Structure 1
Amino acid sequence: MSYHYVSYLWDDTVAASLDPVARLVYRSNLLGSDQRITNTGGGNTSSKLTERDPLTGAPVEVLWVKGSGGDLRTSKRENFASLYQPKLLDLQRLYATRADKGLKSSAEDDMVGMYTHATFNLNPRASSIDTPLHAFLPGRHVDHMHPNAIIAIAASANCERLTREIFGDAMAYVPWMRPGFELGLAMQEIVRRQPGVRAIMMGQHGFIAWDDDDKACYTRTLDFIERAATYIEERYAARGGDAAAFGGAKYQTLDEPRRRATLAAVLPWLRGQVSRERRFVGTIQDDTPILRFVNSHDAPRLAELGTSCPDHFLRTKIKPLYVDWNPQSEDLAALKGKLAAGLEQYRRDYAAYYDRCKHANSPAMRDPNPTVVLIPGLGMIAWGKDKSESRVTAEFYNCAVEVMRGAEAIDRYVALPQQEAFDIEYWLLEEAKLKRMPAEKELARQIAVVIGAGSGIGRETAHRLAREGAQLVCVDLMEGAAQSTAKEITDRLGLGIGVAGSGISNCGPALGLGANITDRASIRHMLDQVALAYGGFDAIVVTAGVFVPSDTTGHIPDEKWALTFNINVTGSYLVADEAAKTWRDQGLRGSLVLTTSANAVVAKKGSVAYDTSKAAASHLVRELAIELAPLVRVNGVAPATVVQGSAMFPRDRVIGSLAKYNIAFAADEPTDSLVRKLAQFYADRTLTKAPITPGDQAEAYFLLVSSRLAKTTGQILTVDGGLHEAFLR
């Protein structure tokens, strides 16, 4: 076929160089790399291969299938479960025995626990609940995908008729059934009755296709998706295309500057509202497809129906919150009012849904706040525990919108019945899967802004907070340096999964921004960018500072004195004052950590401007602790001289200090050697006799940002190696 709606990526040369399991991984990665074929984490692939039994050495048939929780795009060999195919087939007798005794419901879940008894070669990868779908179909290679075009047909009121009309005898149909053993048996029966069929449409869900050749299976999968998309797009165009989509436009999109300004103003407040139980990180989507949907006449009706594919609503919940706000005639106050009322109603609706559908053994009700918010003129806001999860949430609701667009173009969109949706969302196996997830890190769900992150203590602090799970905004006067630190963090942690957001929201776990902390407008712009990227912020650490030594006469020029105080004192105040507006709007407890110095209490010759500015900064900590209480804790870190990695110690200053203290050095000596000499000189003046590193300081900032010192505010934590001259009197 000639493909327009999917990408054909198979390379015979690459495939020929791979062993059978590697070919399965290769096929899976190709399919998962195209979001038109399957969503992040969705779908399964498998191959039935002949292996050598590790005990007997005899040839055995083994099912290799994508394991639980894997993602096709990024999967490697270790992400696939391997099971003895004959043992999986033998489980049918056990299931039938239990079902005959009236234990069909519990037997369905019990079978998942039995898969471990069929494990080949002690493979630790947990099997997916979709394993029977692959084991019970005859093809040696099986692809189960979630393409938007196919799900649009699966979520249509007349799905069975449309399947016959579009695919003829090539694709069978099975009505909605929860993934698992019973669905696998139903598919097996379909193939028994229709031996020529090579694919099955799964009502409300997706489709599954198979072949005895892996390349043919890949191609067959693409062919079915291409045929479905072609059918939909022809009818979509005939019904008026984009102009008529979802009943046509009811509202108009705000221009980009107004849209971004409104989002920056409302996001922190909204984050506070949806984070009453647990904090969330946001992703905004305001591209053309999502705006076409939220602005449309049909958006309220379709949003209320919720999503259809189980993979979608596990992330997006049973439905999104749609806010009927007129961007042309209503202001920000009206938007907040409608959001507040909508959130209250959403929580009531969710509680009613839980009470109506729950079973005696259902897990307790989860967070009743929406994870998707739709606003005409602005777009979509998706929420998750971190940036990666909110990106996935955004991706999945984008998929849901595409499904609704396709279904409405060819028929009428129908969502999964609420009881069926509940039984997936609160499935005991899903609950067990959630409980197996690793515990969240100490700063998970926190958004931290580190000002001065381009080098030295700030850079090290950004890395320290990121290691504990915080989403990091690295800020520096030199934007390139901030972006470099952010890239280091992102390269280490990975960008995450899911579709990118729009504009600045297209970021991962770290973001680099430029800002001048002596300029209030620059600070406000930076904080608004943080809101657009993540939804708000929880902690701010200010490590930016400047040291201007006195000249040989012991004086400092007036402009240098002013600069020192502007950066070391006024800058911290301006950051706090602007951040306080957002913190109060957000309504979540926060933390501000400023940087003072051991010099704040030790008078030293040649640093009068620096020392007095740091003394002022120390008292600023105490004043701000009172001003921002009880919502924000304000503390300070007082380092002694940190030479290693500090932007305040370029080579010429290091040489000047060595000369000042009569420390021998060579003019052509490497900078690293000079730095070590000076650092050790400062260390020898302390009680611990060890050089102080940026990492030592970063640990103090982490402690003050974390909840470990949750009852500490207005305090200065000194990290100076034991400088007895700085002992407070």
Structure 2
Amino acid sequence: MKSYRFVNYLWDDAQAASLDPVGRLVYRSNLLGSDQRITNTGGGNTSSKLTEKDPLSGQPVEVLWVKGSGGDLRTSKRENFSSLYQQKLIDLQSLYAARADKGLKAPAEDDMVGMYTHATFNLNPRASSIDTPLHSFIPAKFVDHMHPNAIIAIAASKHCEKLAQEIFGGEMAYVKWMRPGFELGLAMQEICRQNPKVKSIMMGQHGFISWADDEKACYTYTLDCIDKAAAFIEGKYEQKGGDAKAFGGAKYQTLEETQRRATLAAILPWLRGQVSQQKRFIGTIQDDAKILRFVNSKDAARLAELGTSCPDHFLRTKIKPLYVDWNPQAEDLAALKSKLAKAIEEYRKDYASYYNTCKHANSPAMRDPNPTVVLIPGLGMIAWGKDKSESRVTAEFYNCAVEVMRGAEAIDTYIALPQQEAFDIEYWLLEEAKLKRMPAEKELARQVVVVVGAGSGIGKETAHRIAKDGAQIVSVDMKADAAEATAKEITDKLGQGIGVAGSGISGCGPAVGLACNVTDRASVRAMLDQVALAYGGFDSIIVTAGVFWPSDTTGHIPDDKWAFTFNVNVTGSYIVGDEAFKTWKEQGLKGQLVLTTSANAAVAKKGSVAYDTSKAAANHLVRELAIELAPLVRVNGVAPATVVQGSAMFPRDRVVGSLAKYNIAFTEDEATESLVKKLAQFYADRTLTKAPITPADQAEAYFLLVSQRLSKTTGQILTVDGGLHEAFLR
């Protein structure tokens, strides 16, 4: 087994031998994609030229299997690869040449992508990548095209061609920057024709491509190239002083962790509001040693302004990040906010100027001009995306860009892609077409919803219901393990998403679990600050937490239990709303607050005096908060009737007590599920619909109130009681 310093060798002969040829392509791809030092999320592609039986003629034909459009090498499966007749792809060269000879080279590039469907083998529905010609035109059976930071660092250096020769000798050729596509494939084919000894090609500012006629040899040689490049860079880096001298050395110092997190929690909701002027964004913070080394450095401002070099990077991170020159040791939070406000305004103007300078007659309309990466000395990086997964990938890509700049500056001088070339990638019509083919965003996409009481019952069901429509969920409960369990259920169901950047809570996925005592203002504030660190802010809060303490047989309830009931059911909801409003005002984005009352608020009932009166107070709290928080926040309530199924307020002993109270027959050894069913049906029989009320019924009401379906509704109580006529308005 070969040994490497800067990449992991993972090939297993036995596992590879157990797979068919396409399976081995998937295997090789997954190995390469699993190491971010080899390629970034969604970046790069692999191929194999295999002999297949033609489904019509039955004759053997050469078929190119290549990773299709979209997808990620780390997670790709067989269905993520397109299959094309190799000879038909070669035959397209004459069609391209004829159009190029007529001066139609640029439109011919895009037209060729549409022609790949005519070369599809066996009706494979996977759309072909724009990189298909690179793999087809190189005369080798197995090809890897990767985006390793080490090689991009060389490719993004001022004297990249000379450095490639110095490091790799004659076995790696060089091709200047060209947009991926047919012309680049032809250029690579010509390099191979002129020099059969070449085994790889460095692509200016982009990455590299390597090949072999044995798939294990192809995998190994890919690692060889990356390891050799990384070793060269690290040697030069250490000669120049290593971390202490990276990016010109430190200009600012990192704030200690507690102060850093407090500052981020304070600034993030406001910042989210600023960058979400067109569409709401979800944030990911990164404040590990590597990113702090960069943002604190003397050269950070210069390098950030240059932007990224690799097309894969700036499609996520925009042409450049927003860097704010804030001194964490000498300036306060107010100064940071002031500098950020001015910088964001300038960024938008710069982006509009970039668009207007570079656009073509047929360019798509200008996209959101707000930054997706914000760099702050002493604090780190904040990345933004449409959901947590996308913001993590954005952070990951800018980390790659930082490593590229570090390497390029160690061996030479970093250069970025020219603005026009960058624009032509960002606003490529084929890229626009790909964006338009993507599924429509779900109804609650780009929303962060905090569900208090999500550890069980109605709250748990509501968290799942809201997540299904695209919201990022903060599962909150008095018990941390219950909150985390619900968050894990949601994450397991929806998947963690792609991207691995972030530290601490910021590394979360579509849901996160947090503990909170709603009767303790400090606990509520701490929870909301954690939400800011996890997602950048929040949009809606649903409070389902509540307690029930029954009166004794004489109708008495102890004073402490009376106070406890009101503390949780009324004061807790007020504290949550009051603290959350501070954050909503900072964000400046419309929000929704939904409290939980009860049908009992309108129906007096023996044995539940504290609960019923607290819920009546909660009804009026909804109305009061609707006035206090308007017009920024809509405040409504959901009033369930008795929900027995899955409710934390109905443990077995309470179910048994209620059955006895209502003279419903049961046995002491009867299963809890059976007892719950009997009690639920008893309550259902008292309603007009005669059907038991479930947590799912309630969850639908909460969903309606946090969506925009009832966007003009505030100060109202939505009753979900099965038709309890005693609770009708009177």
TM-score (norm 2): 1.00
For 2:664 and 2:553, the matched residues in 1 are separated by 19
Q: Deviations over 1:544-589 (max 9, x none)?
A: 0000000111110000000000000000000000000000000000
1:571 is matched by which residue type in structure 2? G
**What is the aligned partner in structure 1 of residue 104 from structure 2?**
103
Q: Deviations over 1:677-698 (max 9, x none)?
A: 0000000000000000000000
1:29 matches 2:30: yes
Secondary structure of the 1:361 match is coil
Q: Does the CA contact (< 8 Å) of 2:315 and 2:426 recur in 1?
A: yes
Q: Does the CA contact (< 8 Å) of 1:548 and 1:560 recur in 2?
A: yes
For 2:401 and 2:691, the matched residues in 1 are separated by 58
**What is the aligned partner in structure 2 of residue 319 from structure 1?**
320
**What is the aligned partner in structure 2 of residue 355 from structure 1?**
356
**What is the aligned partner in structure 2 of residue 654 from structure 1?**
655
**What is the aligned partner in structure 2 of residue 293 from structure 1?**
294
For 1:235 and 1:500, the matched residues in 2 are separated by 27
Q: Deviations over 1:423-458 (max 9, x none)?
A: 000000000000000000000000000000000000
Q: For residue 2 of structure 1, report the CA deviation from its aligned partner.
A: 2.5
**What is the aligned partner in structure 2 of residue 119 from structure 1?**
120
**What is the aligned partner in structure 1 of residue 304 from structure 2?**
303
For 2:439 and 2:642, the matched residues in 1 are separated by 39
2:407 is matched by which residue type in structure 1? G
1:718 matches 2:719: yes
In percent, how many aligned pairs have the same letter? Answer: 83
Q: For residue 499 of structure 1, report the CA deviation from its aligned partner.
A: 2.0
**What is the aligned partner in structure 1 of residue 45 from structure 2?**
44
**What is the aligned partner in structure 1 of residue 238 from structure 2?**
237
**What is the aligned partner in structure 1 of residue 575 from structure 2?**
574
For 1:427 and 1:144, the matched residues in 2 are separated by 21
For 2:140 and 2:482, the matched residues in 1 are separated by 54
**What is the aligned partner in structure 2 of residue 378 from structure 1?**
379
1:459 matches 2:445: no
For 2:709 and 2:195, the matched residues in 1 are separated by 64
Matches within 5 A, 1:163-562: 163-562=164-563
1:718 is matched by which residue type in structure 2? T
**What is the aligned partner in structure 2 of residue 679 from structure 1?**
680
Q: Does the CA contact (< 8 Å) of 1:131 and 1:180 recur in 2?
A: yes
**What is the aligned partner in structure 2 of residue 147 from structure 1?**
148
For 2:125 and 2:113, the matched residues in 1 are separated by 15
Matches within 5 A, 1:6-85: 6-85=7-86
Q: Deviations over 1:635-684 (max 9, x none)?
A: 00000000000000000000000000000001000000000000000000
Q: For residue 275 of structure 1, report the CA deviation from its aligned partner.
A: 0.1
Q: For residue 540 of structure 1, report the CA deviation from its aligned partner.
A: 0.1
For 1:14 and 1:541, the matched residues in 2 are separated by 49
For 1:707 and 1:42, the matched residues in 2 are separated by 36
Q: Does the CA contact (< 8 Å) of 1:175 and 1:202 recur in 2?
A: yes
Q: Does the CA contact (< 8 Å) of 2:48 and 2:142 recur in 1?
A: yes
Q: For residue 320 of structure 1, report the CA deviation from its aligned partner.
A: 0.2
1:465 is matched by which residue type in structure 2? I
Q: Does the CA contact (< 8 Å) of 1:452 and 1:475 recur in 2?
A: yes
For 1:560 and 1:248, the matched residues in 2 are separated by 61
Q: For residue 716 of structure 1, report the CA deviation from its aligned partner.
A: 0.3
Secondary structure of the 2:9 match is coil
For 2:501 and 2:636, the matched residues in 1 are separated by 35
2:705 is matched by which residue type in structure 1? L
Secondary structure of the 1:314 match is helix
Secondary structure of the 1:709 match is coil
Q: Deviations over 1:599-648 (max 9, x none)?
A: 00000000000000000000000000000000000000000000000000
Q: Deviations over 1:234-266 (max 9, x none)?
A: 000010000000000000000000000000000
Q: Does the CA contact (< 8 Å) of 1:643 and 1:649 recur in 2?
A: yes
For 2:55 and 2:547, the matched residues in 1 are separated by 66
Matches within 5 A, 1:563-642: 563-642=564-643
Q: Does the CA contact (< 8 Å) of 1:25 and 1:75 recur in 2?
A: yes
Q: For residue 502 of structure 1, report the CA deviation from its aligned partner.
A: 1.3
Q: Deviations over 1:370-393 (max 9, x none)?
A: 000000000000000000000000
1:203 is matched by which residue type in structure 2? G
Q: For residue 500 of structure 1, report the CA deviation from its aligned partner.
A: 2.9
Name the count of aligned residue pairs: 729
Q: Deviations over 1:280-319 (max 9, x none)?
A: 0000000000000000000000000000000000000000
CA RMSD of aligned residues (A): 0.4
Q: For residue 56 of structure 1, report the CA deviation from its aligned partner.
A: 1.2
1:665 is matched by which residue type in structure 2? F
For 1:224 and 1:57, the matched residues in 2 are separated by 40
Secondary structure of the 2:709 match is helix
For 1:495 and 1:191, the matched residues in 2 are separated by 42
| Runs of 4+ residues over 4 Å off in structure 1 | none
1:575 is matched by which residue type in structure 2? V
Secondary structure of the 1:712 match is coil
1:19 is matched by which residue type in structure 2? D
For 2:505 and 2:148, the matched residues in 1 are separated by 28
1:257 is matched by which residue type in structure 2? T
Q: For residue 101 of structure 1, report the CA deviation from its aligned partner.
A: 1.1
Q: Does the CA contact (< 8 Å) of 2:3 and 2:9 recur in 1?
A: no
For 2:282 and 2:162, the matched residues in 1 are separated by 42
Q: For residue 139 of structure 1, report the CA deviation from its aligned partner.
A: 1.0
Q: Deviations over 1:35-56 (max 9, x none)?
A: 0000000000000000111111
Secondary structure of the 1:183 match is helix
**What is the aligned partner in structure 1 of residue 158 from structure 2?**
157
Secondary structure of the 1:163 match is helix
1:93 is matched by which residue type in structure 2? S
For 1:154 and 1:105, the matched residues in 2 are separated by 24
Secondary structure of the 1:708 match is coil
TM-score (norm 1): 1.00
For 1:70 and 1:186, the matched residues in 2 are separated by 26
Q: Does the CA contact (< 8 Å) of 2:684 and 2:691 recur in 1?
A: yes
Q: Does the CA contact (< 8 Å) of 1:450 and 1:475 recur in 2?
A: yes
1:558 is matched by which residue type in structure 2? D
Secondary structure of the 1:226 match is helix
Q: Does the CA contact (< 8 Å) of 1:303 and 1:320 recur in 2?
A: yes
1:426 is matched by which residue type in structure 2? Y
Q: Does the CA contact (< 8 Å) of 1:500 and 1:507 recur in 2?
A: no
Unmatched 5+ stretches in structure 1? none
Q: For residue 707 of structure 1, report the CA deviation from its aligned partner.
A: 0.3
